[in-house]
Structure 1
Amino acid sequence: MAGPAADAHLLSLGAAEATPDWFVHAGAAFPDLVLLADLPRPGGGPPFAGAWAGVLGGRLNHALILGEEPEAVIAIGINPDLGFEAAETLRLRSRRLNDYLIVETGGFRIAYRAAAGGLEARLATPAGEVVEGLLRPRPDLLRRGGTVGAVARDRCGDLAAASSTGGFGSKLSGRVGDTPLIGAGTYADNRTVAISTTGHGEYFIRHTVAAQIAGRLRFGDETLAEALRHVIVDELSEVGGDGGVIAVDASGRVEIAFNTDGMVRGWTTDRLPPQTMTGGHAP
């Protein structure tokens, strides 16, 4: 099930509903900053490229995320005294003036200038209020939760896999990726393996990645490590499909493979404390 019918079905079962913005936020340091789901790619050249955040005048949480100029995203926190009754996030155009980058609307004007340790930001409201402060680099604002997957083998030998994803920014309305497609992004068969994947979904669909890995174990007499390497490292890399796989086979062997710079991952057993990694090679 997908789309409105799936939403209606989940609501009928009592599931809680949240707007898309609920899943994208600025983190504990700036709790009232809510960022857009489709943030721009960092660009614009030094010294303004990337994501910056800070507190202006000790009174107002603020973030600047600059894409390819003149595209900029401005996030403003809550301060009724300054006229900000609710947090707001705006996609605006920026302009250069000497050493300054300037962004303005009918409600405020902000000027940024490179400074030691970050960007000096000066916000002026139509009422004449001015608050200023230092924004520091915050690349974590650009990190977005991607696919969350899990695989498991229980004490009876049963295998299970589960995957959840919000897709990616600026995707076509109604797009269904590989995550909910059994055999593409998610698969479990007690005879072979449980698999959850993450990456460029269209490639995982086209190559039926999860089912192909299971088939290599069942019919190709490959080990799990060999199957993952052939599909993820060799086949997908060759066609430009980035991503990774977590898997546990019928014997309880855990294998992880990815063809990107890194993948957040972890594993544990009844005899092994939880292990986690982000970059580097899979175990």
Structure 2
Amino acid sequence: MKNGTSVQEFTLEGFPAAQQLGKILFLVHLLAYLASIAGNAVIVAITCADSRLQTPMYFFLSIFSFTESCLISAIIPKLLVIFLLGKQTISFVACFIQAFVFVFLGAAGFLLIAVMSLDRYLAICKPLHYATVMNLRTCCLLVTACCALGFTVMSGLVVKLSQLSFCGPHVIHHFFCNLSPLIHLSCSDTRSVETLLFVLALCVLLASLIITITAYSNIVVTIIGLPSAKERQKAFSTCSSHLIVLSLMYGSSAFIYMKPKQVNRLDSNKEAALVNMVVTPLLNPVIYTLRNKQVHQALRETVCRMKTSR
């Protein structure tokens, strides 16, 4: 980091208006965090343990659940410390590591969402070719490509941001080291970095969104053409959970990132980011498993095996 930086640590503003409710907010967010981790861990564990769930759909879902757990684990613990102890400082290096983990796993998550949409498209629209095309090797290659692309694209952005000069102020108007508030703290010319952030966020979100919309447009056409109402209901039920999660993720992320000028909108971004960090990861395991009979049966059988083995 060869820059003119004099700032050695940053102060995370958090939510000053809710400062008096620190312990209550700590408890609420702690419970939400633990529930998110537990729910996503159950998805990963049950997918590995039950052979009936070792299909491409659940493989992608387990990887997505794992990335979601890693993502919130990079953000929420520091927020809990702010709520409970009021310790808002974070070192320069730790701040940029947190920013990198956030954008890397966030980009990889959106690319995985697009891959999951393609998986549902092949399963519903091309069922005869599904087993041949979506084999284990293809699944692993797709996941590797998502992670590699997210890492390559976002590491360049964070490195470019770290090369800016930070000579004060040092208060980040957010509850974690998000890129946009960091950019506005720099005393360098940030136009190129701000433009790069907007372009990369736009590319990742739009690429994922275009793939998803195209896949689901074909899925809807195929479902409408099914002769039986029962078949249509079954096909739609496999996609409805995915669509709910998509709406939450794209809505909050588009509100945060797809705006080139954000100086006066950082406060509203905090609320949207909190939804993305707390609510969405909490709802993901619930939405994906609540109406899924295969997961229900696998969980029941696993619990029964655990009881009989004692």
TM-score w.r.t. the length of structure 1 is: 0.26
Which structure's residues are more often helix, by fraction? 2
Structure 2 length-normalised TM:
0.24
Between Structure 1 and Structure 2, whose CA radius of gyration is higher?
A: 1
